[in-house]
Amino acid sequence: MQELNYDRQLILNHISSHEIELVGSVADEIGRECYVVGGYVRDIFLGRTSKDVDFVTVGSGIEVAERVERRLRHATLAVFRNFGTAQVKWRGMELEFVGARKESYSHDSRNPIVEDGTLDDDQRRRDFTINAMAICINRDRFGELLDPFNGISDLNNRLIRTPLDPDITFSDDPLRMMRAIRFATQLNFEIFPETFSAIERNRERISIISKERITDELMKIMKADVPSRGFVLLDRCRLLELIFPELAALKGVETVNGRGHKDNFAHTLQVLDNVAAKSDNVWLRWAALLHDIAKPATKRYDEKLGWTVHNHNFIGEKMVPRIFKRMRLPMNEKLKYVAKLVGLHMRPIALVEDVVTDSAVRRMLFDAGDDIDDLMLLCAADITSKNREKVRRFKENYDLVRQKLVELEEKDRIRNFQPPVSGEEIMATFGLPPCSDVGKIKEAIKNAILDGKVANDHDEARRFMLEVAAGMGLKPVADAEQG
Ligand code: ATP
Ligand code: MG
């Protein structure tokens, strides 16, 4: 057998904490074998600390949890008798307890039939070798590592591999396919070739997994340092077309008369990573992922212009709610934010291509509001051309727009623009009921301010209002004017 390379002292350092020692001694009192298992053990060797600790006892875990709760000050206990599990929360930590179990699966559900089992049974039901290690915390074996599937060597070689036959592992619980890709992405590990080919073979099984679960894993991929890794893997095993067909549709290059367009999938992933390198805001990352989502739907070949994708930003903006709904992503202000950025993502670049007028920059500032900085970040991330000269020109112009933004914002206070003359004031001035004329006047004032014809202040805007209204044949109500 291979000599495993791990540091015993490292284990002892991690598990010699008040709460873990207490769990061990409580288990000793009632004569139960007890182990720390799963992600917590893996993370010890990865040098990550975690606030969630999973304990497995041979025999019920609930009794151990109840006794632990009584011995920790201000701890809270939750018991889930149906599942045979219990949770103790203490000082920001979550201690999870479960009895060792053996699982058997039926074809149409990822919920197994569960029986009591040995530690060995429990380790065999776990998804990956690196997640199947256990450390004994009973006093006489404190710190002993049980690693039946060589998880340590897979950790050293940075490999995701199932402990048992991967076809059975993935068919039993297809969520594990998503988990494999998620861990590979988060940890920057490879998926072992036989494990990976089993994902390809079993990909259709994903249909028994709920959308919520799939999206949970996608969110973890999106939050990783280099999220593109996950999407490349999803594409390679062809899960992508099943769980995210719109994204899969971005793939490939079509050529007409020798003219190809860029591969929008590769481009999108580059933009996603560019954004991820600059921002942890997962919703900005979603905007990056979806910014060109309507390119396949809008792509046309024109003899004169070559490839065009007219309005792909607006069509994309409309696609976002459908995608969010299907994926059970939040249908709230996060959705609005992502859709808005998708709709606006061309705007700074469009400014860059022509002359940069104050009016265009003001309008962009007005439309983006507080999200202007995120929009500019997305836009910079979107410059991925291989043509150096093009990139240089874009960057130069981009900086110009940035500079203008700062100047105009200081001067005009446009970001959180509130029209300086309200609808009420317009109605009172001309004795009007709420009607389309009021809207027209308001719109004219807004445009005049954004175009820089009128300053963003009340008195100037009011003078302009009187002018516009006169042009429409409206006169101020005399007493309102004097009062
Ligand atoms: P993290 O919490 O960082 O996402 P983790 O490894 O702790 O990673 P959890 O989902 O908290 O993941 O699960 C804890 C442990 O339970 C895992 O390490 C693994 O041993 C086991 N496990 C979780 N989900 C499954 C599954 N679908 N199939 C088999 N084992 C699983
Ligand atoms: Mg965990």
- Please identify, by atom number, the ligand 1 atom nearest to the C-alpha of residue 38: 18
- Please identify, by atom number, the ligand 1 atom nearest to the C-alpha of residue 173: 27
- Please identify, by atom number, the ligand 1 atom nearest to the C-alpha of residue 186: 3
Task: Tell me how far the alpha carbon of residue 142 lies from the centroid of ligand 2, in angstroms.
Answer: 22
CATH of 158-243, one of 1.10.150.120, 2.30.42.10, 3.40.50.11030, 1.10.110.30: 1.10.110.30
Are the C-beta atoms of 208 and 174 separated by less than 8 Å?
yes
Query: How much is the pLDDT for 219?
Result: 98
**Could you tell me the CA-to-CA distances from 195 to 205, 272, 459 in Å, in that order?**
15, 27, 71
Query: How much is the pLDDT for 407?
Result: 86
| Residue 402 neighbours by CB under 8 Å, 6+ apart | 376
Q: What percent of the chain has pLDDT over 70?
A: 97
Task: Tabulate helix, strand, coil % of the chain (nearest 5).
Answer: 55, 10, 30
| Residue 367 neighbours by CB under 8 Å, 6+ apart | 344, 347
**Could you tell me the CA-to-CA distances from 175 to 25, 115, 127, 211, 414 in Å, in that order?**
36, 21, 10, 11, 48
User: Closest Cα to atom 7, ligand 1: which residue?
Assistant: 39
* Phi, psi torsion values for 245, nearest 5 degrees: -60, -35
Query: How much is the pLDDT for 182?
Result: 98
Query: How much is the pLDDT for 305?
Result: 84
pLDDT digits (tens, 9 = 90+) for 294-305: 999 998 888 888
Question: Tokens standing for 164?
Answer: 């048992």
Query: How much is the pLDDT for 480?
Result: 46
User: Closest Cα to atom 6, ligand 1: which residue?
Assistant: 39
126 C-beta closer than 6 A to ligand 1 = yes
Identify the residue whose tokens are 């739907």.
Answer: 297
Query: How much is the pLDDT for 482?
Result: 45
54 C-beta closer than 6 A to ligand 1 = yes
Q: Give the whole-angstrom CA distance, residue 446 versus residue 479.
A: 26
38 C-beta closer than 6 A to ligand 1 = yes
Task: Tell me how far the alpha carbon of residue 98 lies from the centroid of ligand 2, in angstroms.
Answer: 14
112 C-beta closer than 6 A to ligand 1 = no
Query: How much is the pLDDT for 352?
Result: 67
Q: Which residues pair with 477 in a beta bridge?
A: none
Phi-psi region of 397 (alpha: psi -120 to 50; beta: other; left: phi over 0): alpha
User: Closest Cα to atom 10, ligand 1: which residue?
Assistant: 39
Ligand 1, from 54, 56, 131, 185: best to mutate by most atoms within 8 Å of Cβ? Answer: 131
Q: What's the predicted TM-score (pTM) here?
A: 0.90
Intervals of the chain under pLDDT 70: 1-5, 352-354, 479-483
**Could you tell me the CA-to-CA distances from 30 to 26, 64, 83, 319, 436 in Å, in that order?**
7, 8, 21, 58, 79
Quote the distance between the C-alpha of residue 372 and its chain's center: 20
| Residue 79 neighbours by CB under 8 Å, 6+ apart | 62, 65, 66, 85, 86
pLDDT digits (tens, 9 = 90+) for 54-89: 999 999 999 999 999 999 999 999 999 998 999 999
Q: Which ligand is nearest to the CA of 220?
A: 1
Query: How much is the pLDDT for 302?
Result: 86
pLDDT digits (tens, 9 = 90+) for 400-454: 888 888 888 887 777 777 888 999 999 999 999 999 999 999 999 999 998 889 9
Q: Give the whole-angstrom CA distance, residue 332 versus residue 335.
A: 5
Ligand 1, from 43, 127, 220: best to mutate by most atoms within 8 Å of Cβ? Answer: 127
User: Closest Cα to atom 24, ligand 1: which residue?
Assistant: 127
> In the chain, where are the structural domains located?
8-157, 158-243, 423-482
Q: What is the CATH number of domain 8-157?
A: 3.30.460.10
Q: Give the whole-angstrom CA distance, residue 328 versus residue 214.
A: 10
Are the C-beta atoms of 317 and 375 separated by less than 8 Å?
no
User: Closest Cα to atom 9, ligand 1: which residue?
Assistant: 39
What does the mean pLDDT of the chain come to?
Answer: 92
Query: How much is the pLDDT for 4?
Result: 54
Q: Give the whole-angstrom CA distance, residue 228 versus residue 289.
A: 9
Question: Tokens standing for 107?
Answer: 């074809």
205 C-beta closer than 6 A to ligand 1 = no
